[in-house]
Amino acid sequence: MSTLTMPQPIAVIGAGLAGLSCAQALLQEGHTVHVFDKSRGPSGRMSTRRAEDEHGPWQCDHGAQYFTARDAAFRSEVARWQQAGVAAQWDAQLASFDGNVWTTPHTPLERFVGTPRMTSPAAWLVQGLAPVGERAHTQWQTTVQRLERCPDGWAITSAEHGLHAQRYSAVLLAVPAPQVVPLLTEVAPAGAAVAGSARMRGSWAVMLRYAAPVVLPWDGAFINTGPLRWVARDSSKPGRAGPETWLLHASAEWSEAHIEDSAGSVTAALLAAFAVLGGPSPLVATAHRWRYADTEPALTLGCWWDGAARLGMCGDWLNGGKVEGAWLSGQALARQATPT
């Protein structure tokens, strides 16, 4: 059988939750799927930093802090994660500060986290690809730089491996909008225009380690003044072990204004803001810059699909933002890419 008549796999670029959700749905429909990601493993912004320093091993979620589940299909998926032990409800003591007054937010929201770390649901989804055998393939540390339509299907060129020999029946992009634009400008200008219309913002995160529990009356706080927007006792999340860790997230506005600043100056500024809230000096502080953290405003297309070219896009930036939006976007694109 020639390569022109053999069933060709579908390429999914990006192994965050949107890409993995899309790959999962495609595999359930019987397709062969190849997942590529430039990182060493899955999860995208559902990330956890794990390291060891002179004070010992530690971990801290430094991307998405929690997620909610309003949609029935996503609630069912989260229930599967809970049953597998890779997610749990986080019953955090929350507070809000406007610069003058502390209040307690009263919302009925259930907040979930990955367990024992935020990366766990994505890692579990990748493990679920293994039983599918030859129909599922993952390739890490592969930065896709070019897409080309050839007579025998879509060709992929990556920075690490050059032109890949495999051809694909469709290419589905599950990466931040700014990374989509150069890939689609020549082969799908309409898709590049959609991605170009999404304004993605950066975010600085600072992870803190302590030798003893920090005495503050809340586990997470929404800060509506100064450079900070979110502060959390990361070690209060279910399934965590190890030392006391805290996470400081700067506001999108402050982060954008300081996106090229040094990690040292950002750390100093956010620690000073935390000290005003009563936070003590940590043993160690580690900063991380998210170049593409959120979209303001997020698009509401759900996903994007060009049936003639067999190119598509999914991601939280296309579906209202948030973890739930990412998963639903991947499901929606898989339905579009699967002929009925």
Mean of the pLDDT values across residues 237-265?
Answer: 96
pLDDT above 60: residue 2: no
d(CA 305, CA 154): 15
Q: How many residues does the chain have?
A: 340
Please report which confidence band the pLDDT of residue 180 belongs to, taking 50, 70 and 90 as the band edges: very high
**Can you list the positions of beta strands (E) in 82-196?**
87-89, 94-97, 102-103, 112-114, 136-139, 144-150, 153-158, 162-163, 170-173
Whether pLDDT at 45 is above 50: yes
Task: Identify the weakest region by mean pLDDT among 41-45, 98-102, 118-122, 213-217.
Answer: 41-45
Q: Residue 5: what pLDDT?
A: 41
229 vs 51, more confident: 229
How far is residue 61's CA from residue 50's CA, in Å, rounded to a whole number?
Answer: 9
Q: Is the pLDDT of residue 3 over 70?
A: no
Read off the pLDDT of each residue in 177-200 and give the average, rounded to a whole number: 96
What distance, in Å, lies between the first and last C-alpha atoms of the chain? 25
pLDDT at position 34 is: 96
What mean pLDDT comes out for the span 249-258? 97
- What pTM value is reported for the model? 0.93
pLDDT of residue 1: 32
With a CB cutoff of 8 Å and minimum separation 6, the contacts of 61 are 47, 48, 49, 113, 114, 117, 118, 234, 237, 247
Cα–Cα separations (whole angstroms), residue 264 to 48, 52, 63, 83, 286: 21, 20, 19, 41, 9
Dihedral sign computed on CA atoms, order 130, 328, 246, 294: positive
Mean pLDDT of 71-97: 97
What is the model's pLDDT at position 59? Answer: 95
The residue ranking higher by pLDDT, 297 or 192, is: 192
| Chain centroid, CA 291 distance in Å | 12
| % of the chain beyond a pLDDT of 90 | 86
Q: What distance in Å separates the CA atoms of residue 181 and residue 197, rounded to the nearest whole number?
A: 10
What is the bridge-based pairing of β-strands 10-13 and 33-36?
Answer: parallel
Report the alpha-carbon distance of residue 45 to residue 37 in Å, rounded: 13
Cα 222 to the chain's mean position, in Å? 21
Q: What is the mean pLDDT of residues 251-273?
A: 97
**Of 331 and 133, more confident:** 331
Quick check: bond before 213 cis, omega within 30? no
pLDDT at 185: 97
Residues 293, 303: contact at Cβ < 8 Å?
no
Mean pLDDT over the full length of the chain: 94
pLDDT at position 107 over 90? no
**How much of the chain, in percent, has pLDDT values that exceed 70?**
96
- In which band, very low, low, confident or very high, does the pLDDT at 4 lie, cut at 50, 70 and 90? very low
User: Is residue 221 predicted with pLDDT exceeding 80?
Assistant: yes
The answer to whether 199 touches 38, Cβ cutoff 8 Å, is no
pLDDT category, 297, cuts 50, 70, 90? confident
pLDDT-derived band at 199 (thresholds 50, 70, 90) equals very high
Q: Dihedral, CA atoms, 243, 246, 247, 251, nearest 10 degrees?
A: -170
Residue 151: asked if its preceding bond is cis (omega within 30°), the reply is: no
